[in-house]
Amino acid sequence: MVEHQYLFIDFEFTMPEKSAKYRGFFPEIIEVGIVAVRNNQIYDTFSSYVTPVCYPILSERCKSFLNISQEQVDTGMSFAELVQKFEDITSDSKKNTVVTWGNMDMKVLRNNCQKGGFSFPIKGQEIDLSMEYKRFFGDQNQTGLWKAVEEYGKEGVGKHHRALDDALTTYHIFNLVEKDKKYLKQHEPTTIGDRVDFSKLFNKNFA
């Protein structure tokens, strides 16, 4: 049994056309990317297209924006299989921490589970890395995933809006931010209390 596992997750979702037939629309997961990290090492990666249930025909806007074809999602895994995948990948670790860029991924997963009658398959802490990044750098607005990595002078992994590439890029930024946090902690300015032993000073004055 593994003590602690980090899961860096990214989903791509369906997008509606501006049309009456999409009334009541909600986004469904159509691509998943997972990076499982144990002991600071990538233990496993997983990528798959997912077949949407309620709105199985992709809008032209969705296909164009994400560069995903109808054939790719038609031959993807079912949502039930995706739920099972998460149950399998979290079953042999005592603690799981999910890291995503933004809060939409977990919101959509929860909503898709609710709509499909599935229990939410991931138990553990959830970190929205975009908010951590915003707080750490004091930004007023949330920064996009690939803009954030470019601000570090780095490049994203693979192609933007490919689920596994975005999950790997999220892992990449997580490591950069954690490294900066440790650096700042090690180089915090000393206070006057750190430099002067007041107990010795008082003992000397009042002896």
Instruction: Answer yes or no: is pLDDT of 88 > 70.
Output: yes
Give 141 or 148, the one with higher predicted confidence: 148
Average pLDDT, stretch 54-73? 95
Mean pLDDT of the region 71-81:
98
Per-residue pLDDT at 194: 52
Mean model confidence pLDDT for the chain: 87
- Residues 6 or more apart in contact with residue 176 via CB below 8 angstroms: 149, 152, 154
Residues classed as catalytic = 12, 161
Q: Which of 10-19, 35-44, 135-144 is the least confident region?
A: 135-144
Q: Is the pLDDT of residue 192 over 60?
A: no
The backbone torsions φ and ψ at residue 144, rounded to the nearest 5 degrees and listed phi first, read: -65, 155
Say what the pLDDT of residue 207 is.
43
Local confidence band at 133 (pLDDT 50, 70, 90 cut-offs): confident
CATH of the domain spanning 2-206: 3.30.420.10
Place 205 in a pLDDT band, splitting at 50, 70 and 90. Answer: very low
In this predicted structure, the answer to whether residue 66 has a pLDDT above a threshold of 50 is yes
Determine the average pLDDT of the residues in 35-46. 95
Residue extents of the structural domains in the chain: 2-206
Q: How far apart are CA 207 and CA 203, in angstroms?
A: 6
Q: Exposure of 36 by Cβ count < 10 A (0-12 exposed, 13-18 middle, 19+ buried)?
A: buried
CA dist., res. 56 & res. 20, Å (int): 16
pLDDT at residue number 201: 46
Mean pLDDT of 119-137: 91
pTM of the model: 0.84
Q: Tell me: the pLDDT tens digits for 149-162?
A: 788 777 777 778 89
State pLDDT tens for residues 162-174: 999 999 999 999 9
User: Distance (Å, rounded) from C-alpha 36 to C-alpha 45?
Assistant: 6
